[in-house]
Structure 1
Amino acid sequence: MEWSTKPRHPDLPFGSWADDLAAAFVRLEPRRLADHPFEGAISRADAAPIQISLVTATRHTVLRLASHIASSTDDLCFVNLQLEGVGRTTQRGHEQISTPGDLALADTTEPFEIANCHNFRLFCFAVPRGLLPKRMLDRPRLNLSATEGGRALSRTLAGYAELCLSDFQRAKTSAMVGAHLIDLISQAPEILTDVAAERVHIPVLLSMMLDHIDRHSDDPALGAATLAARFRCSERYVHRLFATTGRSVGEHVNEKRIVACTRRLLDSAARHKTIAEIAFAAGFRDISHFNRQFKRCNGLTPREFRRVTAAP
C-alpha cells in the first residue's frame, strides 16, 4: 500500500499527511519545524506479525498525543531504522538520536515525539509490543552505527525490509521474513554490548555473516577464519552455523564469486578483460579452481560461456 502527500494550499501545510499517517501507522499529529513546502510518501508491506514501511519526507515533527492513545486500541512499537537525515525520538523523558544506520524505538501506548530536522528516509517496523523483550522498552539505546556488529545488523535489517517492499514479494516469504526480523531486532541490545558471538541467536548471527559474504566476496582471504575473527567466535562455531544451511562457508563464497564473474562476462563493457583478470578481481586465487567451479554452476567453461553469449 502507498500514500503520497504534496499540499497545494498554504493554509493546509500538511495536506492529507495526518490521515495518511493514521492509515499507515496510528493516529499522529504532524507539526512544522519551519516555513517550507512539505512532501511525504509512505510505502507499506505486511510481513505478519509485523508491518514494514518506507517513509520519505521533508523535515517535520510528529507527535503521539494522550488524546490519540485514549481513543486507540493499538498496542505497537515503532522500531525506526534511519536511512537518511538525523532523527530525534523523545519518550518518557528519554531521548534517542538516530543517524543513518541507527534504530530508535517508540511505544505507541505512551506519548512520544519524533523530530526530523532535515529531509529524511527511514524504514519503520511496526511490531506488537508483546513480541519484543521488555528490556528494549525501557530507555532503549540502539545506535547500531557505533559498532561493526551493529552496522552489519543494520544492513541486514535494511535488506529484509527491501525484500518485503519489493514487487516480487510473496505472502509465505513475507511471513518468514517478519518472524526473522523480530529476532534480529530483539538481539540489537546484545550485539551493541559486544557480547560473545555464541550468545547471539543463531539465525541472527548467520544472517550477519551471510551479509558480510555478500559484501566482501571479492576478498581472496575470505573464509571461516575471517568470519571467526570478524564476529569474535571460533572457526568451529562458524562451521556449525553454516552446517545449518546445508552448504559450507566456501560454497557460499564461491557462489557469490561465480555470480559476479558471470555478470562480468555478460557485460559488453568488460570484453577487453581476460577471464583470469575477471576471476582474480572476484576473489579467486587459482584459475583452474575457478574454471571448475564456473563449469559446475553454468554447464560451460568461462571461455565457452563468453563465446556463446557474445552478441552477434
Structure 2
Amino acid sequence: MLVTGFSTEDVAAEDRFERWLDFTSQSVKRVARPEDRAEDFRASLRVVDLGDVGVAAVSGSSVRAARTPKNIRQSDPEAYLVELVLSGNGVLSHAGRESVFGAGDVVISDTSRPFHMWRSCSPDTTASVVVQVSHAMMPLPSSTAASLLAVPISTRGGLAALFSRWLTDITKRAGDFTSADAPALSSVVVDLLAAMLSRQTGSVVATTPESRRHVLCFQIREFIQHRLDDPALSPKVVAAAHRISLRHLHKVFEEQGTTVAAWIRRCRLERCRRDLANPLLGSHPVHAIASRWGFADAAHFSRVFRTAYGMSPTEYRHSVLRLPTSPSAPTGDAAGRRL
C-alpha cells in the first residue's frame, strides 16, 4: 500500500504554504486554488493510494479555496470529491447551491464544475477524510450524483455511518495493508459510497452481485459490533435483523473464510482483551468484563480466551499491566478455571 505524508511542522513559517502547495500538487490532484489562509498556516496530509481511488486524511489551518472555469480547462481529473468532515465547519458554493456543513457531515463536489469553499478548522486535529472517485467509477446516473452536490449528508446513522467508519478505519490502518489489497479496498469504498448516495435519493442502483455482497457484509458486521454485549446475539438474530435466511448469512461469512459464530466470538474476545489491558479497569473482576461482552459462562470464557491467546485472562492481565502476583494466587489451569 502506498502511503505518503507531509506536515508543515518542521518547515519555516514563511515557507509552509508554498511547500504545502508543492506537496499536494505532486501527491494528489489538487483541484482548488487557495485564495486566503491563516497567517500562521499549518497543515498535514496523509494520502492512501488505492489506485483508482484516492483517500487522504487532512488537517490544516482555516482556508478559502476556489475552483474556477480556468482551473477546469487547465486540468480536470473528472472526478467526485467526497469529504467526510471530522472537525470544524465550512461553507460550499457549488452547482447552484450554497450549503453550510460541519463535523459528522459528508459533502460532495464535482471537479468538472466551479466551486468556492471556506473551511474553518484546527491544524491540531484531523479535519476531514477526502475521497476522490472518477466519474467513470461511480455506479450512479450522473443526474443522481448531481442532485447531491453541495448537499450535506449526516453520518449519524444508516449507511452513511457505515461509510464514515470504513473511511476512518482505512486511514488509521493504512500501514496494515499491501498494494495487493488496493483493488478490493477501492471497490468497497465505491460500493459503500454508491449505496449511501442511492439511499439518500431513493434511487435504484444497478450494482453487481459482488457490490451488494460487500455492502451486506459490512452492514452485518456493523450490526454485530454494536451488539456484542448482548448474550442473546446469535446467527438467527443477525439473519432476522437483515431479512435474510440463515443459509444466506452463513454463505456471506464462508466467503470471508470464517463463520458467523466464530466472528462474533473473535470480536467479543478482542473487546475483553482490550479491557483487560486497560489500567483504568484493573479493579474490575475478570468475570465482570467477560459478562460485559456477552460471555455469560465464566468457565467457557476462560477456555476460549486461553485457546485464542495462549494464556488465561488473569495471566494476560498480569503480563500486560505488570501487576504483582500473590504467592497464593492460582496460576495455570487453576487460574483459567477461576479466570
Q: TM-score range by the shorter chain?
A: 0.7 to 0.9
CA change 1:62–1:264 in 2 (3 A) is same
Which residue of 2 is the match for residue 191 of structure 1?
A: 199
Partners in 1 of 2:87 and 2:276 — Cα distance?
35
Equivalent residue for 2:141, pick from 124, 134, 140: 134
Which residue of 2 is the match for residue 106 of structure 1?
A: 109
Partners in 2 of 1:161 and 1:235 — Cα distance?
34
Partners in 1 of 2:179 and 2:152 — Cα distance?
29
Q: Which moved more, 1:127-136 or 1:260-269?
A: 260-269
TM-score (norm. length: structure 1): 0.81
The percent of aligned pairs where both chains have the same amino acid is 21
The Cα offsets for residues 226-278 of structure 1, whole Å up to 9 and x where unpaired, read as 54566x53453544433432433322111111123234445566554333122
Say yes or no: does 1:26 pair with 2:30: yes
Which residue of 2 is the match for residue 123 of structure 1?
A: 129
- Root-mean-square deviation (CA, aligned residues, Å) is 3.4
Which residue of 2 is the match for residue 72 of structure 1?
A: 75
Which residue of 1 is the match for residue 173 of structure 2?
A: 163
Contact 2:43 2:58 survives alignment (8 Å): yes
User: Amino acid of the residue matched to residue 29 of structure 1?
Assistant: R
Which residue of 2 is the match for residue 90 of structure 1?
A: 93
CA change 1:227–1:161 in 2 (3 A) is farther
TM-score (norm. length: structure 2): 0.75
**Which stretches in structure 1 are left out of the alignment for 5+ residues?**
none
Partners in 1 of 2:42 and 2:296 — Cα distance?
51
The structural deviation recorded for 1:156 is: 2.0
CA change 1:168–1:304 in 2 (3 A) is closer
Secondary structure of 1:26's partner? coil
Q: Residues 8-87 of structure 1: matches in 2 within 5 Å?
A: 8-9=13-14, 14-23=17-26, 24-32=28-36, 37-87=40-90
Equivalent residue for 2:161, pick from 151, 155, 176: 151
Partners in 1 of 2:111 and 2:34 — Cα distance?
15
Q: Residues 187-266 of structure 1: matches in 2 within 5 Å?
A: 187-192=195-200, 201-224=212-235, 227=238, 232-234=242-244, 236=246, 237-266=248-277
Partners in 2 of 1:123 and 1:142 — Cα distance?
15
Partners in 1 of 2:172 and 2:245 — Cα distance?
31
The Cα offsets for residues 66-100 of structure 1, whole Å up to 9 and x where unpaired, read as 11111215222211111112233332213454332
Partners in 1 of 2:280 and 2:164 — Cα distance?
33
**Which stretches in structure 2 are left out of the alignment for 5+ residues?**
325-339
The structural deviation recorded for 1:287 is: 1.9
Partners in 1 of 2:95 and 2:315 — Cα distance?
65
